[in-house]
Amino acid sequence: MEKRQDASFFGQPRGLSTLFFTEMWERFSYYGMRAILLYYMYFSVSKGGLGFSQTDAASVMAIYGSLVYLSSVIGGYLSDRLWGSRKTVFYGGVLIMFGHIVLALPMGSVALFSSIALIVLGTGLLKPNVSEMVGGLYTETDDRRDSGFTIFVFGINLGSFVAPLLVGYVGLNINFHLGFSLAAVGMFFGLLQYYLGGKKHLPSNSLFPSDPLEPEDAKKLSIYVGSGIAVFALILVLLAMIGKLNINSIISLLSIIAVLTPVVYFIVILSSKKVTKVERSRVMAYIPLFIAAAIFWAISEQGSVVMALFAENQTQNNLMGFNIPASWYQSLNPLFIMIYTPIFATLWAKLGKRQPSSPAKFSTGMFFAGASYLFMVIPVSLFGAHAKVSPLWLVGSWAIIEIAEMLISPIGLSVTTKLAPKAFESQMMSMWFLADAAGQAVNSQIVHFYTPDNEIMYFSVIGAVAIIAGIILALMVKPVKKLMEGVN
């Protein structure tokens, strides 16, 4: 007789509740911190900030976001080969919590960069593995898997929605460090709940690595890692010798690494003997989707950078005597996701087999991503770059780009797993996060062009690039579908 399915959390296995709240709190801490970090960096010292230039602050935000997803490569590896996902997630959560605690202390730039290092590493350990564990709650044939992921993503957005309101209010209206401590408290709740719930409700195989590291591999790995670090250090020394070692050159170096990593990944996967002909064709099909995703993430992640600057500098935040904290705009992204999710779920269910293919959805998404930027050209053209405009412009822009997110983010996650060669399943999952990392690495360079006087140009060019990329992808839908070999 078949074992009775555990369906005690909205029809889903109880373990989903543990993972839901862990990731909800983790995202609460991450997006709460990010909603005030930009302002913390460039506000003057007298206003409690660090007094960076706006451009440097924007560039740091972008490269930070990039590294957070780039490090998922490390987290995936450590979980598969050393610790298993359960412990890796826990260690990650601890690092993240300490990352926020460091920022809660009034210690300036030293605290900032130590916190970035802790949170980059911690998120790399936590995020890919908590998502992977969601998949692990279901057998291959369990058709609750997709709805399980939908619930999980809802948890992500719930945390991301509440945080900018709460952490943002406290951080901007009372004190930045108090705001950062709220983020730490959030991660603490997440960890506590994970620890207690995990023991009872998470499958015990998550306690072990799926592909334990052999001594032979360990040796190879230490050589690779050792030489990587040596080359990195050497480049830093060279930069110092020519007098170019500064925050911008380090950011550029890191952004090159973030863009090259997926390229290397693709080469390794495509040239591996473990990959069959059909699988190779599917990975080829994934390349244009990956590039589209990177462009989409570049625009969407600028929401916490460029749009956050717009929210503070060019938006009328005083509404009938109430002062809207600029960080509150960060809640619009997750808010629209929560509003749109049931609409899109109904739409896909209604269309059933007649729904567009993943590349077609992606290309439509690119169009909306570009449109959200072209939309911002309107207020700047009408009122100039030095006027304060209605908050509705930002609301409108987010309403547009979140349609793109619905067409790209969940679809991409699912198509990634479907196109993954058997031997590279978890690497392909990391690849999905690498699209975001690559997009934000590019952002760390292009945000330098964002100045009020250059705004119309900035929004038009980036919007146009996304739309043109969307058109190119639309023209490629047929050949890409062919390469996908039966996957939709």
- The residue ranges that bind ligand ASP (CB under 6 A) are 31, 156-157, 160, 333-334, 337, 405, 409
CA 146 – CA 76 distance, rounded (Å): 22
Minimum distance from CB of 171 to ligand ASP (Å)?
16
Minimum distance from CB of 157 to ligand GLU (Å)?
8
The tally of CA atoms less than 13 A away on the side-chain side of residue 197 is 18
What are the beta bridge partners of residue 483?
Answer: none
> Token pair for residue 425?
């399943």
Name every residue whose Cβ is closer than 8 Å to that of residue 13 and which is 6 or more positions away in sequence. Answer: 5, 6, 7, 137, 138, 148, 201
What are the beta bridge partners of residue 319?
Answer: 322
Cβ burial of 247 (10 Å; 0-12, 13-18, 19+) is middle
The partner in contact with residue 197, picked from ligand GLU, ligand ASP, none with C-beta cut-offs of 5 to 8 angstroms by kind, is none
The partner in contact with residue 131, picked from ligand ASP, ligand GLU, none with C-beta cut-offs of 5 to 8 angstroms by kind, is none
Instruction: Report the residue from 26, 27, 393, 477 that binds ligand GLU according to the rule CB under 6 A.
Output: 27
Which is closer to ligand ASP, CB of 84 or CB of 303?
A: 303
Minimum distance from CB of 69 to ligand GLU (Å)?
6
Distances (CA, A) of 333 to 77, 336, 360: 31, 6, 23
By the rule CB under 6 A, 86 interacts with ligand GLU = no
Per-residue DSSP letters for 85-101?
HHHHHHHHHHHHHHHHH
The partner in contact with residue 337, picked from ligand ASP, ligand GLU, none with C-beta cut-offs of 5 to 8 angstroms by kind, is ligand ASP
The footprint of ligand GLU on residues 60-79 (CB under 6 A) is 69
> Token pair for residue 272?
């591996």
CA 116 – CA 121 distance, rounded (Å): 8
Minimum distance from CB of 27 to ligand GLU (Å)?
6
Minimum distance from CB of 164 to ligand ASP (Å)?
8
Contact between 434 and 261 (Cβ < 8 Å)? yes
The partner in contact with residue 17, picked from ligand GLU, ligand ASP, none with C-beta cut-offs of 5 to 8 angstroms by kind, is none
Instruction: Report the residue from 156, 170, 285, 466 that binds ligand GLU according to the rule CB under 6 A.
Output: 156
The partner in contact with residue 433, picked from ligand GLU, ligand ASP, none with C-beta cut-offs of 5 to 8 angstroms by kind, is ligand GLU
Which is closer to ligand ASP, CB of 338 or CB of 465?
A: 338
Q: Three-state SS for 323?
A: strand
Which is closer to ligand ASP, CB of 263 or CB of 343?
A: 343
Instruction: Report the residue from 20, 77, 433, 459 that binds ligand GLU according to the rule CB under 6 A.
Output: 433
Residues that bind ligand GLU (rule: CB under 6 A) add up to a total of 7
The tally of CA atoms less than 13 A away on the side-chain side of residue 404 is 30
Contact between 404 and 296 (Cβ < 8 Å)? yes
Residues that bind ligand GLU (CB under 6 A): 27, 69, 156, 297, 409, 433, 436
